[in-house]
Amino acid sequence: MTGYGAACDWARRHVEAGRLPTAVLGVATADGIVALDAFGATDGRPARIDDPYWLFSITKVLTGLTAARAIERGLLTTETPLTGAVPGFGAGRDDVVRLRHLVSHTAGIPEPPLDPVDGLGTALRAPGRDFAAGTASRYSTVAFEGVVELLRRIAGWEWDADISAWSAELGGAGFTLDPSAGPHTVVDAAACGIDMARLARVRNAGAGLIGTAGDLLALGSALLRIGRGERGGPVQPETLAMMRRPLTDGIPRLDPYPAASGQDWGFTFNLRTRAPGLIDRDVYGHAGWSGTEFWVHPTVGVAYVLLTNQGVRPGVDADQLDNAVVSGV
């Protein structure tokens, strides 16, 4: 972890204090991985740098990149309505939910648990709404089932197959929905009411993928290259710029991400452009419920990944890690 000693110490400190069971921390530049280490153990299983983990909501970024690729190919636009793929959607609604609403948490679809007993398709089609599309922002995972339906019914793509294809081209072929990959157990999932076996069965496009630090660091390196104008990778520079445009300007932000948290939503990216705790606010990416973190700092020229496996983490402030990574450049 040469050059990133403070970031390494942050991860080790939290594992040794018992605030995290394990941690895999990695940093990449546009040229590739520059730091990677692992700490701790899950039920006697030592963490290793190439271990798979449940990514939870980092999945949203991967699904978003696949949707953006369909836009590049003229199969969808950000204005494509969900009813074009799901005729039964929106019973009792007088608004139009479009792709841009689904990817920016502004669709107003009532949110079920991550692992709904009746499946995500049923939850997506449930009648009613929380608010009219585009008038507010409330964090949503079920909306990504709508993205999947648009990809499948209109573009003719299976979202996870496309992710596997483009990630393999980057050298990161590990993204999967299959728990037989052996991800580290999320130690408090059951206590928090999440049935991991059922989560795997529903194939959640907003929270269900499993991957390694190397998979995400390969993507981070590619995004840094694309951001400086290079061609190749999962999307083109113009598309990445589109994904980084805020889609939640001027509307109320509802819990758990009120306006005071200093972020906007782009096309699936969390844009922490006003985050009060960060040294560098030119940053985009996503976090996941179990403590996973994936962030790209284009001005500084680094991307980093934290993989861990505990949903409730008192005393853990990921902004501290972000600042330590940025300062280590």
Instruction: Give tens-digit pLDDT for 255-267.
Output: 888 877 788 999 9
pLDDT value at 57 more than 80:
yes
Which tens digit of pLDDT belongs to each residue from 84-94? Answer: 899 889 888 99
Please, what is the average pLDDT of the chain?
A: 95
Q: What percent of the chain has pLDDT over 90?
A: 91
Which tens digit of pLDDT belongs to each residue from 195-221? Answer: 999 999 999 999 999 999 999 999 999
| 279 occurs within a structural domain | no
CATH of the domain at 127: 3.40.710.10
CB 125 within 8 A of CB 89: yes
pLDDT value at 103 more than 80:
yes
pLDDT of residue 2: 62
Amino acid, res. 232: G
Averaged over 228-257, what is the pLDDT?
94
State phi, psi for 221 to the nearest 5 degrees.
-60, -45
| 191 occurs within a structural domain | yes
| 178 occurs within a structural domain | yes
Question: Total structural domains in the chain?
Answer: 1
State phi, psi for 317 to the nearest 5 degrees.
-115, 105
| 183 occurs within a structural domain | yes
316, 317, 308: which is closest to 188 by C-alpha?
308
pLDDT of residue 138: 96
| 174 occurs within a structural domain | yes
Q: Sort strands 264-265 and 210-211 into parallel, antiparallel or unpaired.
A: unpaired
pLDDT value at 189 more than 80:
yes
| 192 occurs within a structural domain | yes
Burial, 164: exposed, middle or buried (Cβ in 10 Å; 0-12, 13-18, 19+)?
middle
Averaged over 27-42, what is the pLDDT?
97
| 147 occurs within a structural domain | yes
User: Could you list the residue range(s) of the whole structural domain that residue 111 is in?
Assistant: 54-209
State phi, psi for 258 to the nearest 5 degrees.
-70, 170
pLDDT of residue 32: 96
Averaged over 98-116, what is the pLDDT?
95
| 59 occurs within a structural domain | yes
15: which 2 tokens? 């594992």
